[in-house]
Structure 1
Amino acid sequence: MKFPRGCDHHRDPDGDRAGRRRPPAPRAALPPPLLLLLLLPRAAAAPLPAADSSGETELEEAAGRRAALPDCVRLARQLHARAAQLQEEMCEKFTICGNSMEMLVQNNLNLPKVTEEDGCLLAGFDEDKCLRKISSGLYTFQTYLEYIQETFTSEKQNVESLCYSTEHLAHTIRQMVINPDEVTIPDPATQKSLRTKLKSDKTWIEKITTHLILRDFTSFMEKTVRAVRYLKNTRSFSV
């Protein structure tokens, strides 16, 4: 029998010329490393799962929040100092210096205050809760500060700067909150109602009201400085 060209034909070692094909020798098993190399191209062809970038994005957002803290501390200190200075101006120009005249006005201004429940004290400090309170309080103070612009006309420019910086700090801190929508911002109707409530026909009532607003704003900013400085120095934001 003739074999096709290209096929192996081996003579029997004992001289048998019968033309019988020898069974093919068993192929040696591939060593494990070589086997892996042969499989690699097939595995590489499979599409790789998309990388999860959510964790990386959250880290970048947290870093951005931390980066704003030094500016917040600086601005909060400036606001506290300006408010304290305006209080001194009130004392010098209108002799409204302390608590002696406050009983002449029913103190129903409902000014924002930082309390223990707001999570801003070092004991039981709650970052997000505290920042929500500070931002909401600063937005609420806006209407009161605009009222001071109308009543404390001799310091109108300084009060105007105070209003602008307060709004800027409120916005910056709001961006640090995990869910900014949770920050309470007074709507236009509420602001209009408050302006009407604050107005008085008596100048001396206006001056005392201005004194009360500046006093409570100074206290609010003092606690704000402590909170943001504490965050800057000792804490990192959770995401």
Structure 2
Amino acid sequence: MNFTESCEATGRRPGSAGSRSRSAPRPGPAALLLLLLPLLLPPAAAAPLPAAADSSGEAGLEEEAGARRALPDCESLAWLLHSRAARLQDEMCEKFSVCENSMEMLVRNNLNLPKVTEEDGCLLAGFDEEKCLRKLSSGLFAFQTYLEFIQETFASEKQNVESLCYGTKHLATTIRQMVINPDEVVIPDSATQKSLLAKLKSDKAWIEKITTHLILRDFTSFMEKTVRAVRYLKNTRSFSA
């Protein structure tokens, strides 16, 4: 499986849409099977933008319905990305003995990776729908450069990391479309990405492996919180049918 679009294209800002969406059942086998389709499609097909609303308001209703239909895939995709990252963590431990209990982890935990905190409005207590969606999308876009780094340093799992990278970009773009003001989602520009990537590559081989583990660990944690937040949205009144 060769994904022609990987993390390098993240500097481009995807199209925006002001519609909102929600409704997400627990992913079952059928949902996960359908979920593989976006990973095989080019971005334009995988994340279509809703049509612009017309004066009758009918297009606006279509946008809302389309966004609602997208949310189950968001939850399923988040679970899939979480599982893949967790498996890659296991591979790092088995192949390179870089595991969670490695003492070196304490030395290299200064990567400033995206994290979901109480202030981001994604926790059940004080849940802030718009603020949380902005955080999730911004965080996923921020992870792109780190995942690109893993593509180059974890060569034996290159194909799996490529799919992780593309799936993350797809999810970031889809969630961004649910934000009322998509321009408020922070997307690192090309210069920022290049600078960060160069900094990550400057370390010695052993430190690179530790960095890879830490990225996968924090990405897995971020995806776990993303799943919880997306699932919670389906139960809010604003998304009731």
Structure 2: distance between partners of 1:154 and 1:142: 19
Change (3 A) 1:201 1:224: closer
Point out where structure 2 has 5 or more consecutive residues left out of the alignment.
1-53
Say whether the 8 Å CA contact 1:139–1:167 is kept in structure 2. yes
Structure 2 counterpart of 1:118? 120
Misfit runs of 4+, over 6 Å: none
1:86-143 C-alpha deviation (Å, 9 max, x unpaired): 00001111111114221232x2211000001111011111111111100000000000
* The one of 178, 181, 188 aligned to 1:179: 181
Structure 1: distance between partners of 2:137 and 2:107: 31
1:209-232 C-alpha deviation (Å, 9 max, x unpaired): 000000000000000010111113
Structure 2 counterpart of 1:104? 107
Change (3 A) 1:108 1:165: same
Count of paired positions: 186
Structure 1 counterpart of 2:10? none
* The one of 65, 82, 85 aligned to 2:84: 82
Structure 1: distance between partners of 2:239 and 2:183: 18
Structure 2: distance between partners of 1:182 and 1:201: 33
Which is further off, 153-162 or 56-65? 56-65
Give the TM-score taking structure 1 as reference length.
0.73
The alignment's C-alpha RMSD in Å is 1.8
Mapping for residues 1-239 of structure 1, pairs under 5 Å: 53=55, 56-99=58-101, 100-105=103-108, 107-237=109-239
1:29-78 C-alpha deviation (Å, 9 max, x unpaired): xxxxxxxxxxxxxxxxxxxxxxx947555443333222211010110000
Q: What amino acid maps onto 1:94 in structure 2?
A: F
For 1:177, what is the secondary structure of its paired residue?
coil
Identity of aligned residues (%): 81
Structure showing greater Rg: 1
Structure 2: distance between partners of 1:71 and 1:62: 15
Point out where structure 1 has 5 or more consecutive residues left out of the alignment.
1-51
Structure 2: distance between partners of 1:53 and 1:119: 34
Q: What amino acid maps onto 1:67 in structure 2?
A: R
